[in-house]
Structure 1
């Protein structure tokens, strides 16, 4: 009986440690098992990337106007199904000179999915991005930042970088409900080479993020920062 209890305890402990390890790997911002991952670029220059996830939606013009007025180029990680639903909005992003990235087709978490599912999600979105006229490199950002083994394997095989972030104010419930708190968080945590993640193309709390964008841009510019697309920021960094 004691031997059985010991074996059970060891087995349970092993399972728990394995699950904890998988959880940490799934959510790791600065590590994945295959290929290149970037959460922040190593540079002493005061350069940052402003990135927006999800969409496009009928609210896309709101953020494009702010970016045009402030003369800032950003990177939009879009969903393929939303591009299909709002192709003119996606074309507007391209025509304004911004960078497009791949945020999967359906915005499902890319964990515990088959290789063919992952392949389909990414390639359908790449195709949708090309159809709206975008010709630059297409980087990838996983929904909710989740990844395990097959997603990084696919990305590495196709020479795609995983673009994460080091500043995400509107993902924190205590910050997301206030444009002032969103702005303050960015202002207090900004560093050279930062990648800022915001959600600005929906109603509800995302409108707080939209309202924070212009203040973020003006304040960081006053601090001597300039804004680049993710591709430009990657070129600015050192190994």
Structure 2
């Protein structure tokens, strides 16, 4: 009997470890989710790239819009509802400049192990703030920190929403210089790439300064730039 209990306990532990490890990889998977449509790159031979900017809007928004205008590109901004509510004029300016607005939840919390009501509230309150900017285009979704398990993908699938991840992230999880961001972007970009940058925060200056440099270099290689929805249309 004791041996059976030990064997049963060992099997339970193996199963538990498997569930935990599987859940970890599912939560962090860049190219897979349990339901609905997810894209981290568009499979195309065309030299087209989407630049995406996470978080905000913040105090740096006018500077960001100026750099994008001077670079001649339209970006996709994944914005937080609470920041749109705090700076409605910034959201309106982004929309008026012709950029695409995406949903990055209301409070930028990790959308794992939360209730269905929380998921609905985080997404729909942000949609409402985006609508106030005057933006009328498609609204894709990006989970904060790229985290998702089961509830979030199921909600997005039920509401026909696309989860947009990325395949190039030169400033994520580290303090990177402008030179390093440019170099990593140029080394990793390929046709159909989705580039993730963080330009709104305190350390966003280096990322923002990198945009004109890698845009100019990629253009010299024959690349064009598009919003996420335009890229998806390819």
Q: Which TM-score bucket, shorter chain as reference? A: over 0.9
Structure 2: distance between partners of 1:225 and 1:132: 30
Q: Does 1:95 align with 2:96?
A: yes
Q: Which one of the candidate residues 183, 206, 209 is aligned to 1:208? A: 206
Return the alpha-carbon distance in structure 2 between the equivalents of residues 7 and 170 of structure 1.
Answer: 46
Give the match for residue 152 of structure 1: 153
Give secondary structure in 2 for the equivalent of 1:170: coil
SS at match of 1:134: coil
Distance 1:99 1:13 in 2: 46
Deviation at 1:161, TM superposition (A): 0.3
TM-score normalised by L of structure 2: 0.98
Distance in 1 (alpha carbons) for counterparts of 2:229 and 2:189:
19
d(CA) in 2 for partners of 1:202 and 1:62? 12
Q: Which residue of 1 aligns with 2:183?
A: 184
Mapping for residues 123-142 of structure 1, pairs under 5 Å: 123-142=124-143
Work out the CA distance in 1 between the residues paired with 2:152 and 2:4: 41
Query: Could you tell me which of 212, 218, 221 is aligned with 1:220?
Result: 218
* Distance in 1 of aligned mates of 2:189 and 2:209: 18
Shift of 1:10: 1.0
SS at match of 1:5: helix
- The corresponding residue for 1:10 is 11
Provide the rounded CA distance (Å) in 1 between the counterparts of 2:151 and 2:142.
15
Alpha-carbon shift at residue 54 of structure 1 (Å): 0.2
Residues 16-70 of structure 1: CA distance to partner in whole angstroms, max 9, x if unpaired?
A: 0110001110011111111000000010000000000000001011111111111
Give the count of matched residue pairs.
233
* 1:121 counterpart residue number: 122
Specify the SS of the correspondent of 1:171: coil
Distance apart, 1:224 and its partner CA = 0.7
Cα drift, residue 2 of structure 1: 2.4
Summarize deviations over 1:43-98 as a string: whole Å, max 9, x none: 00000000000000010111111111111011000000000011111111001000
Unaligned runs of 5+ in 1: none
Q: Distance in 2 between matches of 1:232 and 1:3?
A: 59
* Superimposed CA distance per residue, residues 159-191 of structure 1 (whole angstroms, 9 cap, x where no aligned partner): 100000000111142xx3211111100000110
Aligned residue for 2:194? 195
Q: Secondary structure of the equivalent of 1:169?
A: coil
Q: Which residue in 2 is equivalent to 1:231? A: 229
Which residue of structure 1 aligns with residue 69 of structure 2?
A: 68
Give the gaps of 5 or more residues in structure 2: none
CA RMSD of aligned residues (A): 0.8
Taking the aligned partners of 1:140 and 1:195, their CA distance within structure 2 comes to: 14
Following TM superposition, where does structure 1 have runs of at least 4 consecutive aligned residues deviating by more than 6 angstroms? Answer: none
